[in-house]
Amino acid sequence: MKEIDIINTITKEIGNKYLGDDCAFLKDLGIVVSQDSLVENIHFKRNWCSAYQLGYKSIAVSISDILASGAEPKYVTIALSLPNDINENYIKDFYSGAKSALYGAEIVGGDITGSKTDIMVSVTAIGSIKGKNISSRSLAKEGYAVITKGNHGSSSSGLLELQKGGNNLELIKAHLEPKLEYDFSKQISTIVEEDYAMMDTSDGLADALYKIAEASNVKIMVDYTKVPHLDNIEKEQVLFGGEDYKLVAAIPNKYVSKIDGAVVIGRVEAFDGARLEIAGKEYSSYDELNVYNHFGELS
């Protein structure tokens, strides 16, 4: 099954008001909560990344969800399943990397279990909503500007470098140690007073834009020439490559100039049968997107 099909099945079975965004917004507790997992040979290979890099990325992917909600990262727990060949130095380096990706949060606990062969990491992140206007992918409105910050497509291009034995260190680092847009999130959630939509690009830029458009029942128009990316990145990677962990948001136009480094890449329009249009190509169904696959084995 595809990831989206699994999510839809779960939603139908247990559907409640907390499902739909990458973070559960628990307003009565004043927090948002997110959980992510990384599995060896699905999300990473030990001979491709150091223990430090694995620790860093394990935390970054969950903190990214907190930032996408507009909340402030506060606490993290880590569950590790480890095979017998993992030594003390590996553990030290893993947690050194984890500490470097906290963006102000604290590691407050977790769990350790054994594993036959592969490393598995599961991270729960908690963010505070105090003083923040929390986003939802369902809150984009007609007339809003679509903004982003940071390069797109670099992480998936870095994965291709690793797969082919390449040596473009800039791209490889973008994949293994993605830089999160903490300030971008903080400014939006403290400056924007109206409803707004924001997501991270863990599954790709086009994926995030389509999901915002679908949840908000609107259409998003994107000018591809405005999308920031390195010169040597293919269009396919810019639009559909996953794991950049950048943010894309739909906000009222009047706030754009107040967000440092914001790049306007499109606008929100009334739904006309297509959810997303990029460089003249329309996407009316999620299946038309060449979305990033979190379930395929690395080669």
Looking at the fold, whether 186 and 100 belong to one and the same domain comes out as no
pLDDT tens readout for residues 94-125:
999 999 999 999 999 999 999 999 999 999 99
The model scores a pTM over 0.75? yes
Q: What percent of the chain has pLDDT over 70?
A: 90
CA of 169: how far to CAs of 54, 145, 149, 156, 281, in Å? 16, 34, 21, 13, 33
Q: Which of 128, 156, 176 is the last residue of a domain?
A: 128
Q: Which of 72, 2, 21 is nearest to 211 (CA)?
A: 21
Mean per-residue pLDDT, 45-50: 96
Q: For position 17, what pLDDT does the model report?
A: 57
For residue 122, the domain's CATH number is 3.30.1330.10
Burial class (CB in 10 A: 0-12, 13-18, 19+), 112: exposed
Q: Which of 128, 153, 170 is the last residue of a domain?
A: 128
In this prediction, residue 58 has a pLDDT band, given cuts at 50, 70 and 90, of very high
Q: Which of 199, 256, 251 is nearest to 67 (CA)?
A: 199
Cα–Cα dist 45/262, whole Å: 34
Mean per-residue pLDDT, 6-34: 75
- Beta-strand ranges (E) seen in the chain are 24-26, 31-39, 72-82, 106-114, 120-128, 145-149, 197-200, 218-222, 247-251, 263-270, 276-278, 281-283
Looking at the fold, whether 122 and 238 belong to one and the same domain comes out as no
Q: Indicate whether 16 belongs to any domain.
A: no
Q: For position 68, what pLDDT does the model report?
A: 97
Looking at the fold, whether 158 and 282 belong to one and the same domain comes out as yes
- Mean pLDDT of the chain, nearest integer: 93
Q: Indicate whether 299 belongs to any domain.
A: no
Q: Indicate whether 262 belongs to any domain.
A: yes
Cα–Cα dist 105/109, whole Å: 12
pLDDT tens readout for residues 143-178:
999 999 999 999 999 999 999 999 999 999 999 999
Looking at the fold, whether 165 and 55 belong to one and the same domain comes out as no
Looking at the fold, whether 110 and 157 belong to one and the same domain comes out as no
Cα–Cα dist 81/40, whole Å: 10
What token pair was written down for 147? 């903004």
Cα–Cα dist 293/242, whole Å: 8
Looking at the fold, whether 83 and 205 belong to one and the same domain comes out as no
Looking at the fold, whether 158 and 220 belong to one and the same domain comes out as yes
> What's the domain count of the chain?
2
Domain that holds residue 202: 145-288
CA of 76: how far to CAs of 6, 105, 110, in Å? 26, 7, 8
Q: Which amino acid is at 194?
A: E
For residue 154, the domain's CATH number is 3.90.650.10
Cα–Cα dist 127/65, whole Å: 9
Q: Which of 128, 159, 184 is the last residue of a domain?
A: 128
Looking at the fold, whether 274 and 151 belong to one and the same domain comes out as yes
Query: How many CB atoms are located within 10 Å of the residue 12 CB?
Result: 8
Q: For position 295, what pLDDT does the model report?
A: 45
CA 290 to chain centre: 17
Looking at the fold, whether 56 and 171 belong to one and the same domain comes out as no
Cα–Cα dist 104/84, whole Å: 32
Mean per-residue pLDDT, 194-203: 97
Decide if 27 contacts 65 (C-beta within 8 A). Answer: no
Q: Indicate whether 81 belongs to any domain.
A: yes
Looking at the fold, whether 121 and 169 belong to one and the same domain comes out as no
Q: What percent of the chain has pLDDT over 90?
A: 89
Question: ∠ at Cα 7 (123, 34), nearest 5°?
Answer: 25
Q: For position 291, what pLDDT does the model report?
A: 76
Higher pLDDT, 294 or 79: 79
